[in-house]
Amino acid sequence: MIKDITIGQYVPGDSFVHKVDPRIKIIISFIYIIDLFIINNFQGYIYVVLFLGLIIYASRIHFRYIYKGLKPIFVLLLITAILNVFMTKGGDLIFTWKFIHIYRRGVEVAAFMVLRLTFLIVGTSILTLTTSPIELTDGIEKLLNPLKKIGFPAHELAMMMTIALRFIPTLMDETDKIMKAQKSRGADFESGNIVNRAKNLIPILVPLFISSFRRADDLATAMEARCYRGGEGRTRMKQLKFTSKDLIAVFIFAVFVAISIISRK
């Protein structure tokens, strides 16, 4: 399950989406998240499905990566659905048993929230799956450059965000290895109550933190050995440039946003 987390992973490719400027992809992702919370009916989500289907097809990302990204949040989706079904009242009463009452409005809200979370994860995963860490760093830094005039550390913030995203898959893989090693020594992470399970996680957390600090120290040493001194005066092998592909991407996304807003009740 841990290895199924796709946040921070990058799948190299030569597709249309891979070639879109990272600044455009970051802005589109940000507006896409806002648009998901603006949509207030199922008709709007039909357009979201069509848009995501087009993006996934254009990115040539295999569907198994999308599915793997959703597997770790199945429990969260289930809890969200259950809470909304039993706590939202309104509309026709479709099921009742003792103190349990399920209303049509509760079922609709539960389905709506599950779809919203699903589309949120899928949409944001495509950003990291099609954008390399270097491009992501450059894109974030370029977008934050205007804030440098007021002393905002744009390069440092972009570097930290990208390194954090980059190390998510690494730490997940390290956690999986530690769990397997502890299980081979007789550790039990599944039986017992919540308190006992939390205590059983200590043999995982301690070596994981030690490994994380060691990796951070090695990374800092490697950056110093390469004379890294921040963003001042740094050059880039690949300069970010807007192309016709970026205009096409902006146009398609603008059409999607316009249609989704018009579909609001």
In this predicted structure, what is the pLDDT of residue 223? 80
Q: Give the separation between CA 2 and CA 172, rounded to whole angstroms.
A: 6
> Cα Rg for the chain, rounded, in angstroms?
22
Q: How do residues 188-226 score in pLDDT, each as one tens digit? A: 766 666 677 767 777 788 888 888 888 888 888 888 887
The band of 232, judged by pLDDT with boundaries at 50, 70 and 90, is low
Q: How do residues 146-179 score in pLDDT, each as one tens digit? A: 887 787 777 777 777 777 777 777 777 788 788 8
Contacts of 14 (CB under 8 A, 6+ apart): none
pTM of the full predicted structure?
Answer: 0.75
96: enclosing H helix or E strand: strand 93-97
What are the CA-CA distances from residue 146 to residues 137, 140, 141, 153, 235 (Å)?
16, 11, 9, 11, 18
In this predicted structure, what is the pLDDT of residue 104? 80
Single-letter amino acid, residue 214: R
The band of 239, judged by pLDDT with boundaries at 50, 70 and 90, is confident
**Higher per-residue confidence, 13 vs 186:** 13
DSSP state of 103: E
Contacts of 83 (CB under 8 A, 6+ apart): 110
Q: How do residues 19-53 score in pLDDT, each as one tens digit? A: 899 899 999 999 999 998 888 888 888 899 999 99
Q: What angle do CA 160, 165, 168 make, to 5 degrees?
A: 125
CB 24 within 8 A of CB 243: no
Nearest Cα to 159, choosing from 241, 213, 211, 219? 219
